[in-house]
Amino acid sequence: MFLVNRLEDVELPPIGATDVLVKMLAAPINPSDINMIQGTYAILPDLPAVGGNEGVAQIVEVGGQVTSLKAGDWVIPKDAGLGTWRTAAVLAEDDVISLPNNIPLLSAATLGVNPCTALRMLADFEDLKPGDSVIQNAANSGVGQAVIQIAAAKGISTINVVRDRPEFTQLSDRLKAMGGTHVIKEEALRRPEMKEMFKTCPKPKLALNGVGGKSATELLRHLQYGGSMVTYGGMAKKPVTVPVSALIFKDVKVRGFWVTQWKRDHSSDGKAFRAMLDELCQLVQQGKLTAPACTEVSLQDYGEALDSAMQPFTSAKQVLIM
């Protein structure tokens, strides 16, 4: 797939009464951004368009009727499609929401998508209590790392599945240091050691699938009766196959989640999104939620960053620094 991207100077429009002028500070490159460029995402902007759906900016100036924001505030997009891979923008007041500016820059830049996805999936599908467990594939992804940390803060165990790789031991140690309870390879899901693990760890009520294909099917096998598997990504680009036995004899629930849709469903009053961001920022301030491993790249070097973001087994999120 050939991605047509280039850096351009664009004149900013005048600041309207309900607009804000922002200076972009940092913006990550997420898989959904790549999909949008490739034309395979659920939201496709009119072309030409500015890439990037996530990032943090600082308010430079506000229009005369702006009441919720002031110069110096940090803000992130309320919705996808805003175009964050740029140095500055004039945006509507209602298109952004403020964050405390005393949290780390990389945490702020990566807060609006993956940690929100993780928190909602842990909260909205099963009634999880301290001592319960969750199983997830793609445990090394941005969502996976957020799931580990948020679950640990709530006293929930995580069984974290990753693909085998040469540096598996280092990765396992890193995920456990974040709060992961167990870290296993994909191949281990069908091995007898799973039975041994479940002697000390309860069978999961919730499975989180960011891969699809065989990996998703294997997660389903380990759910407890009546549990839920929630799919939020499909990195394997293969369909989710659900064994008939899992539906009949275990009555599992197969669901999907897209954080953009959640934000739109809750956009009318804004209180739910505000409460979620406040909860996540509190975890950040308490040192219980850190940004994923990031590589900071100058906006001028966006081409290298895009190439790196598309490599398999990527351990670090590429973040454009403006």
Among 41, 225, 232, 302, the one annotated catalytic:
41
Dihedral sign for Cα 46, 267, 290, 21, please. positive
Report phi then psi at 120, rounded to 5: -65, -40
Q: Which long-range contacts (CB under 8 A, 24 or more apart) does 42-47 make?
A: 42/258, 42/260, 43/80, 43/81, 43/260, 45/81, 45/83
**Ramachandran quadrant class, 72 (left: phi over 0; alpha: psi -120 to 50; beta: rest):** left
**What string of DSSP letters covers 112-172?**
TTHHHHHHHHHHHSS---TT-EEEESSTTSHHHHHHHHHHHHTT-EEEEEE---TTHHHHH
The SS3 assignment for 34 reads helix
Q: Is 41 a catalytic residue?
A: yes
The catalytic residues are: 41
